[in-house]
Chains A and B, each alone.
Chain A
Amino acid sequence: MARAADSGAPPGRQWRQSTVLLYLRSLLALAIIWSLIALWVGNHVILPQPTSVAYELFRLIASGEMLVHAAVSLWRLALSYALAALIGIPLGLLMGLWPWASDLLDPVVEILRPISGIAWIPLALFIFGIGNELPIFIITYVALFPFLLNTMAGVRATDRTLVRAARTMGVDQRTIVRHVMIPSALPQILTGARIAGGAAWMSLVAAELIGAPSGLGFAIEWYRQLLMTPKVIAVIVVISLLGYLTDRGLRWLQQRLTPWSTGIGANP
């Protein structure tokens, strides 16, 4: 408040501070309602008090248990995300640049795309068994499509006059791809990266819940079977927080890499 009163403070900061206050107030109201409902339910297993969730969260973090689960999940996520990018972006470039490649690959993509990653879980369970491979396969599959499709669309949307302009300067095809088409497709590729990130988190949880012996998704289910509801909720909170931070990080990256972009999804 004191800072906002400074004569030099732009109106934006004042606004931001009051938003934070409002945010905290709304969350407090929510916690009180939750607490009252928990009192009314009166069953610690079905709905624990927010305070006991906070306590369990603290204990899980302090004991390092949460760190282990989170590290496993994040490692799987990072690996599959990188895999998806490594396959999806080049394939997308290929399909965006050469019609024959998209003619060949497009039908396969269009056949596979509607089959959600989650629908692959039973078959993948049979092929890979319960372990690391299943979640990695599922996440890679899920994250692949946003990367591929957005790269392809971005390349195709390259302004033809830009390409022509480069040609008139005597630049060869390779350089045009490298310095004109990829940069102009970058905003959309990064939008794809964000969509892929969101989809990857969601399927990570599903895959670990059903078919992994470790990780955050596994942890929720494990604590549920032990009827330790406060811990279940604590893990859910951590998953959400990490998901939120991942998205923030990708947005930040998007703004850093393509500051010139004003398109949809580029702004926070």
Chain B
Amino acid sequence: MSQPVPSGPKLRLDGVRKTFTVPRSGATVVAVETADLTIEAGEFLTIVGPSGCGKSTILNMLAGLELPTEGTVAMDGRTITGPAAERGMVFQDYALFPWKTVFENVEFGLRYGPHGKGLSTAERRRRVARCVELVGLGGSEQKYPHELSGGMRQRCGIARLVANEPDVLLMDEPFAALDAQTRIILQEELLRIWGETGNRAERRTVVFITHAIDEAVFLSDRVVVMSAHPGRIIEVLDVGLPRPRTDATRTRPEFQALSQAIWNLIRDEVYRAATAAGSAGGARD
């Protein structure tokens, strides 16, 4: 849909296929079926789709945590071969270090990774404290992850990502465990961190996964809709709502219409997948 700008896309999936081999039986599972996608620098892109359609798998490949079975995944024209600090990630299951406090978790990347090089201890602490405040975890700095609620853990994971100031933010359902109010606040905070109000050139690139369609529409420039079995990109939609987005955005008719359109796409998918899975199961017998 959107043409790549002359400078080249930030991220690019080129004929990407990903299969997994089930260890014991040796069977092959197709997680992602030939995906082509370009993501521009400064773009906010959201992926939606039914559970198990390969959203996390695509994000993992962008992070470099998984390598595609076929095709290439590239950043700034260079093939991604492994994880790096310029592509930070919020994990669906938080992945907080249980032996580190909230503060130490947020500090982790700056302390042991390349992005903290050249920062004095005081500067580092200040930045960490700011990020902790940002996600509303002020006062819980010295708690261990097991002492946090699900939503607090998720916010801690977001703070850890933001503190490391990566070029590309990969977020796997980062707001799934939050209550509605916190969610709305953090959505607006995320847009601010991303640089919604600033000029386009200074924005970071975000690839965001969610199950909530309104969240996808509210946040993104484009929404990628995926289908399940096998996981495939069926539609890429331009949102086109004006920025900065506010509470008023949610009540606009375009917002409603787009949400409804995405929901229709996914609903058909879910039904189709359910019946297909049923008949496939029957055929195997």
Q: Do the two chains touch directly in the complex (Cβ atoms below 8 Å apart)?
A: yes
List residues of chain A with CB within 8 A of the CB of B242.
Answer: none
Residues of B close to A114: CB separation below 8 A: none
Query: Which residues of B sit under 8 angstroms from A10, Cβ to Cβ?
Result: 26
Residues of A within 8 A of B24 (CB): 11-12
* Distance of A164 Cα from B114 Cα, bound (Å): 60
Interface residues of B in 5-32 (CB under 8 A from A): 24, 26
Contact residues of A between 61 and 77, Cβ < 8 Å to B: none
Smallest CB–CB gap between A67 and chain B, Å? 43
Chain B: interface size category: under 10
For the complex, what is the distance from the CA of A262 to the CA of B26, rounded to whole Å?
24
Alpha-carbon distance between A10 and B23 when the two chains are bound, in angstroms:
11
Q: What residues of chain A lie closer than 8 Å to B26, measured between beta carbons?
A: 10-11
Q: In the bound complex, how far is the Cα of B24 from the Cα of A10, in angstroms? A: 9
Q: In the complex, which residues 1-15 of chain A have their Cβ closer than 8 Å to any Cβ of chain B?
A: 10-12
Q: Is the interface of A mostly helix, strand, loop or mixed?
A: helix
* Tally of contact residues, A, Cβ under 8 A: 3
A-B contact count (CB 8 A): 4
Q: How far is the CA of A11 from the CA of B24 in the complex (A)?
A: 8
Interface positions of B from 24 to 67, Cβ below 8 Å from A: 24, 26
* Distance, CA A10 to CA B26, complexed state (A): 9
Which B residue's beta carbon lies closest to that of A12?
Answer: B24
> What string of 1s and 0s marks CB contacts (under 8 Å) between B256-276 and chain A?
000000000000000000000
Docked complex Cα distance between A104 and B197 (Å): 76
Q: What mask results when residues 120 to 148 of chain B are scored 1 for a CB within 8 Å of chain A, else 0?
A: 00000000000000000000000000000
- Complex Cα spacing A12 to B25, Å: 10
Closest to B21 in A: A11
In Å, the complex CA distance between A12 and B26 comes to: 10
Alpha-carbon gap, A11 to B26, bound state (A):
7
> Which residue of chain A lies nearest to B23 when distances are taken between CB atoms in the complex?
A11
What's the minimum C-beta distance from A203 to chain B, rounded to whole angstroms?
38
- The minimal Cβ–Cβ distance linking A199 to chain B, given in whole angstroms, is 33
Give bound CA distance, A259 to B24, whole Å.
20
Distance between A6 CB and nearest chain B CB, rounded to angstroms = 14
CB distance from A29 to the nearest CB of B (A): 29
> In whole Å, how far is A11's beta carbon from the nearest beta carbon of chain B?
5
The complex places the Cα of A12 from the Cα of B24 at a distance, in Å, of 8
In the bound complex, residues from chain B placing their C-beta under 8 Å from that of A12 are 24
CB distance from B226 to the nearest CB of A (A): 31
Report the bound CA distance from A11 to B22 in whole Å: 11
- List of B residues within 8 angstroms of A11 by Cβ: 24, 26
B262 to chain A, nearest CB (A): 42
Binding site for A on B (CB under 8 A): 24, 26
Q: List 4 A-B contacts (CB under 8 A).
A: A10-B26, A11-B24, A11-B26, A12-B24
What residues of chain A have their CB less than 8 Å away from a CB belonging to chain B? 10-12
Q: Which 4 residue pairs across A and B have the least CB separation, nearest first?
A: A11-B26, A10-B26, A11-B24, A12-B24
